[in-house]
């Protein structure tokens, strides 16, 4: 695996790295020369991915991380500083979904979705920002969703969390624009990841959001990763506070 590329010399931290989009992003970043810190709620999965990429010549560290835990975030960033002494890219991908609507959602599940998707994104930026600012040329990529832009009539907590990520991204972009840190959000549409695999198995192309998608198919994680790469690279040096939709045309209606 080549160590030259669009991210040569950069250290990137990816949350949710063992999931569909996270793994595709990690593999693409590896091919483009990044040093990688791969975190996931499943520590073994993060370690396995890091080991696999390491065998291909990539410098990669795999760590377990509950993104809703301030203490765990502090421990991860301390490891990043010890191992790499820098951080240039933070990709907040870790997320969970609950499909219950407003009345059906229960408080426990609501708070857990908010804790992972919304608070976890904030904690990642808060804890990593000193290292990112020290880079002088850093990029934060927050993963929202098309459901952070439009309603679907369900998944109340997920919508709330992803809408919050969208505006948290914009205010952070304004706050850090003059400090060498760009902050943007990516909004995937229906992507064939483990999170929705059961729904896709049951409904296939009849799944309502796929029917409404002009391309009439689910996207692949490998179709989201290049957007992450663009935002992580210096090619997006004048891009901050923006939202990038990768949804097969779903929000074009």
Q: Do the Cβ atoms of 19 and 194 come closer than 8 Å?
A: yes
Q: Could you say which DSSP state residue 143 is in?
A: E
Q: Do the Cβ atoms of 68 and 39 come closer than 8 Å?
A: no
Is residue 238 flagged as an active site residue? no
Q: Find all residues with CB under 8 Å of 96, minimum gap 6, and list them.
A: 112, 113, 116, 117, 195
User: Which H/E stretch holds residue 33?
Assistant: none
Q: What tokens appear for 24 in the block?
A: 């595709």
Catalytic residue (choose from 84, 110, 158, 176):
158
Distances (CA, A) of 128 to 13, 45, 163: 9, 22, 22
Residues involved in catalysis: 158
């Amino acid at each position: 695996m080549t160590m030259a590329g669009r991210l040569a010399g950069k250290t990137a931290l990816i949350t949710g790295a063992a999931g569909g989009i996270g793994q595709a992003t990690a593999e693409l970043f590896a091919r483009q020369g990044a040093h990688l810190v791969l975190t996931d709620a499943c520590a073994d999965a993060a370690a396995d991915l890091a080991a696999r990429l390491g065998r291909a010549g990539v410098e990669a560290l795999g760590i377990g991380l509950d993104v809703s835990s301030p203490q765990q975030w502090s421990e991860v960033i301390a490891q990043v500083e010890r191992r790499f002494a820098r951080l240039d890219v933070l990709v907040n991908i870790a997320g969970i979904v609950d499909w219950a609507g407003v009345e059906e959602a229960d408080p426990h599940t609501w708070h857990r979705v908010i804790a992972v998707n919304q608070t976890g994104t904030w904690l990642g930026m808060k804890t990593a920002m000193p290292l990112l600012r020290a880079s002088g040329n850093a990029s934060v990529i927050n993963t929202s969703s098309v459901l952070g832009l439009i309603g679907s009539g369900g998944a109340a907590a997920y919508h709330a969390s992803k809408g919050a990520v969208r505006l948290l991204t914009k205010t952070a972009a304004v706050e850090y624009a003059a400090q060498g840190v760009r902050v943007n959000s990516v909004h995937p549409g229906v992507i064939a990841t483990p999170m929705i695999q059961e729904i896709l198995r049951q409904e296939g192309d009849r799944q309502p959001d796929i029917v409404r998608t002009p391309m009439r198919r689910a996207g692949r994680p490998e179709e989201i990763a290049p957007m992450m790469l663009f935002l992580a690279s210096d090619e997006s040096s004048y891009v901050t506070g923006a939202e990038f939709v990768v949804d097969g045309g779903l929000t074009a209606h």
